[in-house]
Amino acid sequence: MAPKKSTPRFTAQSRTVLPGSEKAPIAKAEGEKPAPPATKITVSVVVRRKNPLKAANTSGKQRLTRAQYRASHAADPAAVKLVRAFAKEFGLTVEPGTPAPGHRNVKLTGTVANMQKAFGVSLMHKTLEGVTYRVREGSIDLPTELEGYVVAVLGLDNRPQAVPHFRILGEEGAVTARAAQGEGFASPHAGGAVSYTPVQVGQLYGFPQGITAANQTIGIIELGGGFRQTDITTYFKALGQKTPKVIAVSIDKGKNNPTNANSADGEVMLDIEVAAAVAQGARIVVYFAPNTDQGFIDAIAHAVHDSTYNPSVISISWGAAEVNWTTQAMNALDAACQSAAALGITITVASGDNGSSDSVNDGKNHVDFPASSPHVLGCGGTNLQGSGSTITAETVWNAQPQGGATGGGVSNFFPLPSWQSGAGVPKPTNSAGGRGVPDVAGDADPASGYNVRVDGQNLVIGGTSAVAPLWAGLIAIANQQNGKSAGFIQPAIYAAKGKVAFHDITQGNNGSFKAGPGWDACTGLGSPVAPKLISTVKPAGAPAAAAKPKKAAKKKAVKAKKKSSRALVVNKLR
């Protein structure tokens, strides 16, 4: 008996454009040819939520437990069922375990030929700057039955999506200086530059000394590079600190892959060393993913829903100008950040290192994404001068044209959030936009940079990449001190009473925008006054500080001091 043929369902339907999936053609490719049809690839199909998140969830007012989130806001079962049927009809395989609990990504694997038929695309191999990538141009066309159920399809195109926001002192016109090789760190440097250990930067901003973040996990997103345990051990020995526990997690086959100090290793080590040095005792989990829109979004989603390590704060130092993203990818990534806000997780993101243009050469202002997401803490950069716990000067980081400058400006994609409505954000050039970037700032200028160790070398590195892990470390300390994660902090820090938590940066510019009193599009609200910030971000419902143990400790200290004084007198008399 002949096998029964299945009746075409999706192949017989008319097609509709997946909103926001359009990709512009590449103007200058060195060569192109069709992608081999038999090559297998894996894509992420992001489906809608079972139920939309409420405004109270995404603004931090009403948190959800992981169980509550999964029950109401994970992948819509009806959407998953449709995608499975769609995949089967086009010869695509659903990867086992997808979507994972809490996630909305259904992973499909199949040949290029079948992917092209399924998504109505043409996949080409094009060579850009000597590297060949799989390229998709134009829109993704889906069968009409999937309309509204599928919100993004990622991974058909594997071009790099983002760049790391770090700068090594001495490169691209920065002051030529490098820390002495060996176990120690040199400061100050020749040519007027100064450098600090992350601990020294923390001291200048008033980070609590002798306080650990022992019960906290800091997640770090990396799209390349890697770390060496020997470097981490050597670095923290030089700081006089216990070596932190650093765990690598692979996303979409991304790996901890250290090579040399001129690679993305500089980003990875900067992130780890800054975060771990200022938040001593915190567990550091590094999520390595491929540098694609698919990898980036999958990594964030995994970190947000990671019930194994449960990061309370996530640091991101990668990004690209909003115009370099598709709308579907920005929406999908922002949705993952909304989930973080609902779960009480803070995400800190570097605002970029190329001033108000964000390296787009069209004569217009641009902001970096994901720093422009209204559900993350955008982190801008300063030049910091000081010693011990005293800041003598702090200005906007701007060493352009070659030396970089803090990113900042106004989003043309995300509207002005309610909590930023009174900050005086300039009007966007696009009526859809309005979200001001950054929210906060910290030391970023390579000429007042951080002493770090990368692939056996001691280097001085800056960039807003350093500010994201610095703030992540501070939030981890706050979480430990306050007994509850800070979560989504913007409403608290933008409130009038939040002003005391910042050093207001009023001098300098990043190109088109100038610093001034209050929020500005260079350094946001300013750099942290750590003790005030920790109090400001303490969420409602956090346990009150235990007064009695403090009083008892004080009495114990006084008693010990008296005993010590008596002993000293006795010794002198002997």
8 Å CB contact between 510 and 83: no
Catalytic residue among 271, 273, 293, 298: 271
Residue 333: which H helix or E strand, with range? helix 327-342
- Strands 457-462 and 440-443 come out as unpaired
Catalytic residue among 465, 485, 520, 527: 465
d(CA 387, CA 404): 24
8 Å CB contact between 270 and 465: yes
Exposed / middle / buried, residue 561 (Cβ in 10 Å: 0-12, 13-18, 19+): exposed
What are the two backbone dihedrals, phi and then psi, of residue 225, each rounded to the nearest 5 degrees? 75, -165
Structure token pair of residue 457: 């070398």
Respond yes or no: is residue 267 known to be catalytic: yes
Whether the bond into 25 is cis, omega within 30 of 0: no
d(CA 192, CA 214): 37
Catalytic residue among 231, 267, 368, 443: 267
First and final C-alpha spacing in the chain: 110
Max CA separation in the chain (angstroms): 111
DSSP state of 370: T
Place of tokens 């004084």: 565
**3-state percent breakdown (helix, strand, coil) of the chain, nearest 5:** 30, 25, 45
Catalytic residues: 267, 271, 465
